[in-house]
Amino acid sequence: MGETIQGMKRTGGCGELSLRDAGREVTLMGWVQRWRDHGGLLFVDLRDRSGVVQIVFDPEQNREVFEHAGTLRNEYVVAVTGRVNARPAGTVNPNLATGEIEVAANALRVLNAAKTPPFNIGDSLTVDEPVRLRYRYLDLRRPEMQQNIILRHKAAKAARDYLDAHGFLEIETPMLGKSTPEGAREYLVPSRVNPGRFYTLPQSPQLFKQILMVSGMEKYFQIVRCFRDEDLRADRQPEFTQIDLEMSFVEREDVMELTEGLIEHIFRTTVGREIGRPLLRLTYREAMERFGSDKPDMRFGMELQDVSDLAGATGFKVFRDAVTAGGCVKGINAKACAGYSRKEIDDLTKLVAGFGAKGLAWVALQADGVKSPIAKFLSEAEMQNIITRMAGETGDLLLFVADKPAVAMVSLGQLRLELGHRLQLIDPNKYKFLWVTEFPMFEYDEEEKRPAAMHHPFTSPLDEDFDKLASDPLAMRAKAYDMVLNGTEIGGGSIRIHDRTRQEKIFDALGLTPEEAKDRFGFLLDAFEYGTPPHGGLAFGFDRLVMLLAQRDSIRDVIAFPKTASAADLMTQAPSAVSERQLRELSIKLDLPAENGKKQG
C-alpha cells in the first residue's frame, strides 16, 4: 500500500548531485533501480529522470530506516532523505555521473510498491519489441528512451525558437477537415450531427497553410500531427508529426536558405553538431543517374556508371537489345569483391530482381584475369573499354543491369545500398545532407493510365516548362525540393501555384473534371481570386528527424506511444470494437466479411 508524500519535499533530481553538494541534506524521490546487501550495509541505486545516485542505509545510523530499506524491491517508488557524502577511497564509480558521491539515508518512505517488471528497466535490453510496446510505460522508464524523448522536446523547442526569431507565427489548423483525396488513404471521421457525412483527419495542413498565405499571415509554422492510412514501415506511422511552414513573397532559394538555417540550429542546439552549409545540391535527374535514388546516401561513393554506348555495341545480345529498345546498361564497381562466391552473386541477383531487374551481369577482375559468364560475348578490347569506364582494378567486382532506365537506376541504387552496408562503407556517426531539386512534376500512373502528381497538385512547375503541359506533361519539372540526410528524406516542399487559371490547368492534366475540382478544392480556387501572393514552404518529418538525431533505426524509438506495423497500439489495444449504440448514433451499420460462416455486423 503506497504512502503519501506527507510533507517530504523533493530538493532536486538524483542525477543532479555532485561533490559540490557534499554535506548537504537532500530529499530525493524516484524508483529503486537495484539494491544490494553488502556486509551489513544496504546500497540502493535510486533513479529518476535526471539520473541515478547511490543511497546507503547503515543500521548504526538508523536501525528502523535500515530495516525498512530491507523490504524494498526493484521499481518501488520511494522518498529518501539523507546527507550527501563523498564516496570512500576506492569506491568511486567513473561510469556514473554521480559516481563520486553517495547519500547516507536517515529517512525512507515507500510511496508505492511495484510488481516485478516483465523486463529489466535498463539500457541493455534483449526483449522483443511487442513486449516493450505492451508495457510502454515501463519501456519509457529506461534511461535511453527517456533521453530520446528529452531530445525530441529539445528539437521541437529549437525549431520554435528559430522560427519565432525569423518572424513566423505558430497557427493551428483544423484536425477535422474535408475529404480531398489526392495522396495516401485518409482516415474518415463520421459526423453524428450530419448523418452520412464525414470529416477526414489531415494528411497535412497543405490547403490551410496556403489559405493562411492568402490571408496575409506571410509566415506560418506549426508542429502538427498528421494522419495517413497507409502501409507502415520503420520510418512511418499512421499518425506522425511535421514541422510545417509556409512563407509569402518568396522563391525557392529563400525557402531553402531559411530551412537550412533551421536544421543547422536544431543540430547545433540538440547534439552539438555542425551540418556544413551550404548543403550539396543535386537535381532529381543527377541523383537518379549517379546514385539510383532520389534520396541518396552520400556517406559513401560507389556511383552508378552508364556504359550504354559501349555495351550496346558489343556482341552480348542482352546488352545490345536493351539499348536498342531505348533502355540502358548501367553498373557499379564493388571494390575488392572479386572473390564473391556464386551464392553471394546469386543473392545480389535476387535483390535487383525484387526491384524489377531481369538479371545481373558481372565481371570479376581476379589476379589471374577476367572471370565472367559474359566474357565470351565481348572482344578483349570491348571488355577493356568497359573496365576502364568502370575504373576497374584487380580485385574488383563489376555489376551491371540492362533494362529500362528507371529499372536499371532503381535496382542498382538498392544494390549500392546493400553493398554499402555489407562492406561497412557507411559511417554511422557521419551526417551527410543534400538537397534534391527539380523533381518531375508528374509521374505516370499505370493503373489510372494518366499522369499523377509526384508531390501534390499544388506544386508549381518551372516557368520554362509550363508550355509542355499540353504536349509532354511527363517532361515537366517542378519547383520542388527535398532535404535528404543519410539516405532518408527528412523534409520536402515546393513553391506553390498561386493563380486560379494555372491551378485549374494542373487539375485538368491530372484528370479532374471542372466539377470534381470545384467539389474538392473550390474554396482554394475561390480564394485565389482575391489577391494571392507568391508563396512556398516545406514540411519536415519530425519523427524521422529526431530518429536520425538520436541515431536510432526506427521512429518508434522516438515516439512516446507509437503504433505497430499493423497500426495497432499494443498497450491500449486500439483499434477496438465499439458498441452498437455508438454505431447507431453515427448512423453506421457494419458489413464485415463472414467469419465461421456467420455474417458479422
pLDDT at 236: 81
Residues 6+ apart with CB under 8 A from 554: 234, 235, 547
Please answer whether residues 304 and 416 qualify as being in contact, where contact means their C-beta atoms are separated by less than 8 angstroms. yes
Confidence of residue 122 (pLDDT cuts 50, 70, 90): confident
Coil/strand/helix, residue 600: strand
> Is a pLDDT exceeding 80 seen at residue 182?
no
| 243: number of Cβ within 10 Å | 26
Across the range 354-377, mean pLDDT stands at: 96
Block residue for cell numbers 546488352: 319
pLDDT at 231: 75
Measured in whole angstroms, the distance separating CA 238 from the mean position of its chain's CA atoms is 13
pLDDT at 38: 83
pLDDT at 3: 63
- Cβ contacts of 9-15, under 8 Å, gap ≥ 24: 10/79, 12/50, 13/48, 13/49, 13/50, 13/51, 14/46, 14/47, 14/48, 14/50, 14/51, 14/52, 14/53, 14/98, 15/48, 15/50, 15/51, 15/52, 15/53, 15/97, 15/98
> Is a pLDDT exceeding 90 seen at residue 599?
no
> Is a pLDDT exceeding 70 seen at residue 600?
no
Task: Provide the mean pLDDT of the chain.
Answer: 94
Which residue did the predictor score with more confidence, 395 or 230?
395
Across the range 456-473, mean pLDDT stands at: 94
**Range scoring the smallest mean pLDDT among 38-42, 127-131, 520-524, 574-578:** 38-42
Across the range 280-302, mean pLDDT stands at: 97
pLDDT at 257: 98
Across the range 381-408, mean pLDDT stands at: 97
Across the range 483-498, mean pLDDT stands at: 97
**Range scoring the smallest mean pLDDT among 40-49, 181-190, 245-254, 477-486:** 181-190
Give the count of alpha carbons within 13 A of 4, CB side only.
2
Mutual orientation of helices 542-549 and 143-165 as an angle, nearest 10°? 120
Write the DSSP assignment of 144-158 as a string of letters.
HHHHHHHHHHHHHHH
Which residues are registered as beta bridge partners of 530? none
pLDDT at 14: 97
pLDDT at 1: 44
> Is a pLDDT exceeding 70 seen at residue 519?
yes
Which residue did the predictor score with more confidence, 601 or 507?
507
> Is a pLDDT exceeding 80 seen at residue 2?
no
Identify the helix (H) or strand (E) that includes residue 352: helix 342-353
> Is a pLDDT exceeding 90 seen at residue 320?
yes
> Is a pLDDT exceeding 60 seen at residue 87?
yes
> Is a pLDDT exceeding 80 seen at residue 235?
no
pTM of the model: 0.92
Paired sense of beta strands 305-306 and 328-334, if any = antiparallel
Backbone phi and psi for residue 66, each to the nearest 5 degrees, phi listed first: -60, -45
Q: How far apart are CA 290 and CA 302, in angstroms?
A: 9
Angle at 523 between CA 519 and CA 527, to 5 degrees: 145
Across the range 21-39, mean pLDDT stands at: 94
